[in-house]
Amino acid sequence: MMKRDDFLKTLAKHRKDEVVVAVYSAAQEFIQIAPHPLNYTFTGAMGQGSSHALGIALGRPDKRVIVLDGDGSLLMNLGSLVTIANAAPGNLIHCLCRNGSYETNGSVPIPNRDKLSFTAMAAAAGYRRVQTISTLEEWDKELPGLMREQGPVFVDIEMQKGGSYKEDFERLYNPGFRDAFRHALAGSR
């Protein structure tokens, strides 16, 4: 099992001009690990990361969109799986950062976490490709191909907390960063 910050650092290493939609803990860490104007980050709307990513992917089909979703968060919006599969955005990679808990809410364990299969749900919903990745080495090796794959792609990645990162809500909600994202997204046509 990999540490989340190592996962994020590997993503940053392979990233070119993709939009990265990160929520909750991944958002807090990613803004420090890989600051970039095409980072779309937020907290406070549990379950909405995949829906926001879908909107961006549909609005900008020429841009690859990578969403870093939590398993607790995805459970709050399972309907997004069928909505994404139905819309079939070829530019969307849905990464499930799975740690078996509602981490933001005190790391409360997810019910039935040992029986639950997000990959089975994504496959049944109709994602074009579904994959599980267990190690950092596998993530590093597979990511370049996943970034070229016709989507929607669903990748279930088992991970645990990594290093300690300061929560920076002021940065996440700063209108200047939202404006910078909009300008970067509009300017990258």
Q: The domain that contains 51 carries what CATH number?
A: 3.40.50.970
Give the pTM.
Answer: 0.90
- pLDDT one-digit tens code per residue, 87-130: 999 999 999 998 764 556 555 567 776 888 999 999 999 999 99
Under a CB-based contact definition with an 8 Å cutoff, are residues 118 and 71 in contact? yes
Mean pLDDT of 52-77: 94
Domain containing 111 equals 2-187
Cα–Cα nearest to 97, from 44, 49, 148, 151: 49
DSSP 48-91: -HHHHHHHHHHH-TTS-EEEEEEHHHHHTTTHHHHHHHHH--TT
- pLDDT one-digit tens code per residue, 121-134: 999 999 999 999 99
Looking at the 3D structure of the chain, how many domains does it have?
Answer: 1
Cα–Cα nearest to 74, from 49, 54, 103: 49
Please report the pLDDT score of residue 109 as a whole number: 65
